[in-house]
Amino acid sequence: MAKDFDPSGRVPDYFVNAGTSSFTQFLSHVSPELLPGRRPLPPGLSGDVAPHGTTIVAIATADGVVMGGDRRATMGNLIASRDIEKVHPADSYSLIGIAGTAGIGIELMRLFQVELEHYEKIEGTMLSTDGKANRLAGMVRQNLGAAMQGLAVVPLFAGYDLSASDPAKMGRIFSFDVAGGLYEETGYDSIGSGSLFAKSSMKKKYRPGISTEDAIRLAVEALYDAADDDTATGGPDLTRKIFPVVMTATANGTHRLTEAEITAVAELVVAGRMENPGG
């Protein structure tokens, strides 16, 4: 931040002026090097240089949303990480999961968290759920160049909508494409390499108005099905006690299932598959 060294010692003008309430926009003036998607890449495909995160699922429930993600990151045929966490709270009422190039995804997720908090603090009020999704779409769009060269990252965004008038529409799920396209999903959605199998799994069992408890079970089942057929998705690791990260967003805020809670659900799912491997 060489521009900050004003000899008078004053905080630079762009910190003080009314300007924007968006942290990303602000950063693009002050320290563009901190933003993902602004770095020049060498020509050619670079997809194999960094680990990839895989399957995320989200389900709208009667009380809000449930989001779950497996714990694997892969690099080609190797498992880069067994315990990566790809589902995080975006703010007090919403969740973000990431699939694709893990490094860029985690950076995007952190930036999005600060983006929402920054707006909250500057404006004294929270962004609307649609506003949050639009911001995230804009941030994904910035990464298009890198995506074209194999460093694609796609988030899944889900939140409890405080301003929804219809109680059945409190839980909202948004998916994105690499070009920054924003699509609201009904009921459930999944992203990542195992999403095909996870979606098929959820399609058969999802019912509108599903309870949060059932949705948690459904999410873990779907991740199991994804891991069953996709090598890049990790299943429940009983020997190391590594289970999916599952979070909920409801009127009470976000909650990450504790070690004990998720262990209980995962063990039930595994026990069920002992009887019937197809679920």
Pairing, β 94-101 against β 52-53: antiparallel
The least CB distance from residue 53 to other proteins, in Å, is: 21
For the chain, first and last CA: distance in Å? 55
Which range binds other proteins by CB under 8 A, 5-13, 70-78, 174-182, 186-194? 5-13
Binding residues for other proteins restricted to 89-108, rule: CB under 8 A = 89, 91-93
Q: Name which position in 2, 5, 8, 239 contacts other proteins (CB under 8 A).
A: 8
The least CB distance from residue 140 to other proteins, in Å, is: 18
Distance of CA 267 to the CA centre of its chain: 25
Among 75, 85, 147, which Cα is nearest to 110's?
85
Identified catalytic residue from 20, 24, 54, 186: 54
The least CB distance from residue 139 to other proteins, in Å, is: 14
Residue 155 sits at φ, ψ, to 5 deg, of: -90, 165
Among 58, 16, 258, which Cα is nearest to 171's?
58
Say if CB 54 and CB 73 are below 8 A apart: yes
Q: Name which position in 79, 148, 162, 264 contacts other proteins (CB under 8 A).
A: 162
The number of beta carbons lying within 10 Å of the beta carbon of residue 185 is 16
> Is 85 one of the binding residues for other proteins (CB under 8 A)?
no
Q: Is the dihedral of CA 260, 82, 144, 175 positive or negative?
A: negative
Q: 125 an active-site residue? A: no
> Is 163 one of the binding residues for other proteins (CB under 8 A)?
yes
> Is 125 one of the binding residues for other proteins (CB under 8 A)?
yes
Which range binds other proteins by CB under 8 A, 18-26, 43-51, 79-87, 177-185? 18-26
When the beta carbons of 54 and 61 are compared against other proteins, the nearer one is: 61
Read off the DSSP letter of residue 4: G
CA pair distance 12, 6, nearest whole angstrom: 7
> Is 62 one of the binding residues for other proteins (CB under 8 A)?
no
> Is 165 one of the binding residues for other proteins (CB under 8 A)?
no
Residue 67: strand, helix, or coil: strand
Q: Which stretches of the chain are DSSP H helices?
A: 13-16, 23-30, 102-123, 129-142, 144-148, 195-205, 212-229, 259-275
When the beta carbons of 52 and 135 are compared against other proteins, the nearer one is: 135
Q: For binding to other proteins (CB under 8 A), which residues are involved?
A: 1, 8-11, 15-19, 23, 26-27, 30-31, 34, 89, 91-93, 110-111, 114, 117-118, 120-126, 162-163, 251-255
